[in-house]
Amino acid sequence: MTSSLTQPPDDREAFTLRRRPASEKLVDTGFRNLTIAMASLVAVILLGIILTIVMGAREAMATFGLGFLTTSAWDPVNESYGALVAIYGTLVTALLSLLIAVPLGVGTAIFITEDLIPLAFREAIGLMVELLAAIPSVVLGLWAIFVMEPTIRPVLELLHRLLGWLPLFSTNPQGPGTAPAVLILVVMILPIITAISRDALRQVPIELRQGAYGIGTTRWGAIFNIILPAAISAIIGGVMLALGRAMGETMAVTMIIGNSLNFSFSLLAPGNTIASMLANQFGEADGIQVSALMYAAVILMILTFVVNIMAQWVVRKLSLRY
Amino acid sequence: MTSPPLTSAGFERRSLYLDRSLRRNRFNLVFTIIAAVFASIAVAPLFLVIIYVLYEGFQTLSPELFTQLPPPPGLEGGGIGNAIIGTIIVTLIAALIAIPVGVGGGVYLSEYSTGGWFAQFVRFGNDVLAGVPSIISGVFVYGIVVATRIFFEQSYSAMAGGIALAILMLPTVIKTTDEGLKLVPQEMRWGAIGVGASKFVTTTQVVLPAAFTPIATGVVLAIARAAGETAPLIFTALFSPFWPDGIFNPIATMSVLIFNFAIMPYEAQNELAWGASFILVIMILAANLLARWLSNLSKV
């Protein structure tokens, strides 16, 4: 049979079989190896980020140890550093903004997936929420400084007057502070929660809805008892992604949080987050301050890594199989 | 309505018309209203931000805004010409790095990998990289490029800023390429291989062009996001009050200009910050609408 391939019979139209030239093979394997190299670059960058920051933080880790996490002194003159203010600020701003953004985002997602209003309106709302995600953080920060903060200050003053006995509202609002930072974070993570919840709700099989309506439930009976439980794992995954984003968000928060180095429980007082501390001080720092900032960056990275990996795990493991 | 008589089976007979006074129907109405209110609250910030940026920015619009340098603190007038050019240069550097690498990585994941541990690791790493805070990418580039003075003994440079932005763009480009290529029908690959094309020719001449629109959509979105990023630039590209001087010197960008000028106590600088926001928002919204148009194109 092999001979008939290389020497076709004369009475039939000849197929010309050609050997692949060496150059073609070279291009093929070369291209394959190039794409492998480019794909590995993701791993190289990720490892590079971890190595660079951990190596930079080694000096501060050796000097301050774990006490770095629990002391609030940030004193470049005496070279004594602790990140408690920034860690507390990062967690408080991220969690409080989630507390506000989750009901808003999931509520909006339900509103634009159920047929409460005509499709054109729902698509318009979806488009607007997507565009909100596209506005740069620094522009939101600018808006927060000049428009949002002056507008909400009377409300914050009222909070202080009525609830000033609570440690959370114990200081008089002076302008920049934790509370406006929380509100601008809400604006920034709302689109993520809405977009992921909307996708999750859309993927709930139509049979589940039909079944629920068929046995006579109301719309919100179906939403609370059938649709939300079916979509909950993806929604939780989206909420955790938003948490990671909120903890790492830098510019808008830096511009409005006040960047205070003193610890305060009050939401109305200026605060700080790890990301905004990095943005403010990294350019001008030297000596062990750079190392202390790298240490803070390590903490931020661990926090966001844990949250992001948990988000992926939640989506993969907890999703319902229909 | 008279009270319904009981049937033999023990069920109540009820009207099939909607009775709004029933508890469950009132509950239904309340939640519909709550959802509507939440949706309006979610949309409100967009309107408030856009209207304000357009209003403030429109007042600063003038030819000088595009052609002049920012004034020294305390003086009037001036423009943001250097920052506009700077944003274009830095974003271009980032795109020139991130697009080839990202498309190459995506091609590997979709066309060559067989789902082994390496491909799984790259996909996982890509998702993790997408979640890395943008400021961390700035710290990383500061550590490897700025502090080591790797480029001609220069510390802060447009190049460093471009690399930091490329790291942020990369995950988006890889992901959209990977997913765009998966949508290409398997028959097209078989057809190309069947007529004697090599794998390289199949991928570059048949598969990649077929997936052009989804990849272009992802690339446009990634560029739009990178153009507005500030955090990775403040200590890599830094800022410069002068016209750009090569890519190995500090460079002004619109996003860093907004950050620097917003917190200055001078009216003229604040106005320039609004002007820069105006241009940036218009550019980014236009890019997003372009991406949307591209993705609708591929559906038809």
Q: What is the pLDDT of residues A106-142, one digit of tens each?
A: 999 999 888 788 888 888 888 888 888 888 999 999 9
Distance from CA of A290 to the nearest CA of B (A): 10
* Residue B1, burial from CB neighbour count under 10 angstroms (0-12, 13-18, 19+): exposed
pLDDT of the residue at A1? 43
Q: Locate the chain B residue with the closest alpha carbon to A121.
A: B39
Distance, CA of B150 to chain centre = 29
% of chain B at pLDDT higher than 90 = 22
Contact B105 A300 (CB under 8 A): no
In the predicted structure, residue A73 carries a pLDDT above the cut 90: no
Q: How far apart are CA A40 and CA B38, in angstroms?
A: 43
pLDDT of the residue at A13? 57
In the predicted structure, residue A63 carries a pLDDT above the cut 60: yes
In the predicted structure, residue A228 carries a pLDDT above the cut 70: yes
Q: How far apart are CA B212 and CA B228, in angstroms?
A: 25
Chain B CB contacts of A194 under 8 Å are 42
This prediction's pTM: 0.87
pLDDT digits (tens, 9 = 90+) for A44-54: 999 999 999 99
Confidence of residue A250 (pLDDT cuts 50, 70, 90): confident
Disruptive mutation site among A24, A26, A35, A190 for chain B (greatest number of B CBs within 10 Å): A35
pLDDT digits (tens, 9 = 90+) for A143-192: 998 888 888 888 888 888 888 777 777 777 777 888 899 999 999 999 99
Distances in Å between the Cα of A80 and the Cα atoms of A63, A71, B4 are 9, 10, 80
Disruptive mutation site among A38, A53, A273 for chain B (greatest number of B CBs within 10 Å): A38
pLDDT digits (tens, 9 = 90+) for B125-160: 898 898 889 999 998 998 888 777 767 767 788 888
Indicate the average pLDDT of chain B.
85
Contact B230 A131 (CB under 8 A): no
Q: Which of A43, A129, A218 lies nearest to residue B121, judging by beta carbons?
A: A43
- DSSP conformation letters of A161-215: HHHTTSGGG-S---SS-HHHHHHHHHHHHHHHHHHHHHHHHHTS-HHHHHHHHHT
Interchain CB contact of A53 with B (< 8 Å): yes
pLDDT of the residue at B1? 47
pLDDT of the residue at A7? 54
In the predicted structure, residue A79 carries a pLDDT above the cut 80: no
In the predicted structure, residue A3 carries a pLDDT above the cut 60: no
Confidence of residue B10 (pLDDT cuts 50, 70, 90): low
- Which residues lie across from A316 on neighbouring strands? none
Interchain CB contact of B112 with A (< 8 Å): yes
Within 223-282 of A, beta carbons closer than 8 Å to B belong to 223, 241, 244-245, 247-251, 254-255, 275, 278-279, 282
Indicate the average pLDDT of chain A.
84
Q: Parallel, antiparallel, or unpaired: how do β-strands A74-75 and A80-81 relate?
A: antiparallel
Per 3-state DSSP, chain B is made up of helix, strand and coil in percentages (nearest 5) of: 70, 0, 30
Tokens of B238: 């830094």
Contact A135 B46 (CB under 8 A): yes
